[in-house]
Amino acid sequence: MKSKIVATAVSTAILLATSTVEAAENGNTAYMPGSSLYTGAAIPRIPGVFGELIGNYTRYRRNNDPDGHDSGQVLEVDAYSLTFRGLWVTETEIFGAKLLHATILPVVYSEGTVPGDDPDGVDGDSFSQGDITISPFILDWDLGNNYSLSAGLDISIPVGAYDEDDAINIGRNYWSFQPVMGFSYKNPQGFEGHILSRLMFNTENTDTDYTTGNEFNADISLGYNFDNYRLGIHGYVYKQLTDDKWADGTNIYLPDGFKSEAIGFGPTITYKMGPGEILFAWVHDLEAKNHGQGDQFYGKINFKF
């Protein structure tokens, strides 16, 4: 595997899309930890078509080793993304749950210097549509007393720009199938909390004969609502569960299977306007192993068509 850490568009049909640096192949992962921003577990309760525009700036200046220490490798990556998320809340009910469908369309520009054969790193940049994510189904149960439960499937489709010889890629060149489950409590004038967890099952990158191991991520959101505002804290816990592997099934030259993990949290502020809202958030990586460590800045507006 080439020693490159890259910025990539990541997306999920229940959630959002943005850019990241990871320890999986060439630094790519199919979902940006922390990008749900209260949205995934707080699905609209009324039928209709909803949209979101999410702007993101992500920066990395440190690449950590398996023990969570600075590896000393050069890493200076800046990534900018604009993502449209569409969500259709139908009137159909299955097993007592509302049926929803969603899609994510990201556009990303990324530039920087990443680890390579040159001790000073390798420079690169890329501007492209990112990989598209669809959610063929989301089931949302209203449990009453402000509680809700959701379950669905996200499918990441590799249509973003990718070249195995490039230092920075927007696409990943492999599919990812992600069962997702969310649990939510929301008091419109009080406390709210959400947890959205997912498993990522990744296919082989056929250009490199490399498979990123299975991954787990849980996004956690806490907030307090008053008047038209919400102040809160939001973050994630990410862990790669199985080894990265070559096509022959081995993980030779991949210490500890090149598995990664990370934790990040930060503050959020939201202004609510009827069924829509404007949100700003900062997520800071508190710990990272085999993983870039940095910051993510978000601005989001959602609305009903």
Please give the structure tokens belonging to residue 115.
């680890």
CB 149 within 8 A of CB 142: no
Q: What is the pLDDT of residue 13?
A: 27
Does residue 253 register a pLDDT over 80?
Answer: no
Residue 274: Cβ within 10 Å count: 8
The answer as to whether 19 is a domain residue is: yes
CB 174 within 8 A of CB 203: yes
The answer as to whether 1 is a domain residue is: no
Closest alpha carbon to 44 in 274, 218, 227, 232: 274
The answer as to whether 18 is a domain residue is: yes
CATH code of 243's domain: 2.40.160.40
The answer as to whether 155 is a domain residue is: yes
Question: Sign of dihedral through CA atoms 231, 183, 157, 6?
Answer: positive
- Averaged pLDDT for residues 234-252: 86
Q: What is the pLDDT of residue 165?
A: 87
The answer as to whether 2 is a domain residue is: no
pLDDT digits (tens, 9 = 90+) for 94-140: 999 999 999 999 999 999 988 877 778 889 999 999 999 999 999 99
Q: Could you give the number of structural domains in the chain?
A: 1
Q: Is the pTM value of this prediction over 0.85?
A: yes
HSE toward the beta carbon, residue 284, CA cutoff 13 A? 5
pLDDT digits (tens, 9 = 90+) for 176-213: 999 999 999 999 899 999 999 999 999 999 998 889 99
Q: What is the pLDDT of residue 1?
A: 40
CA distance 16 to 138: 15
Residue numbers of the domain that contains 227? 8-304
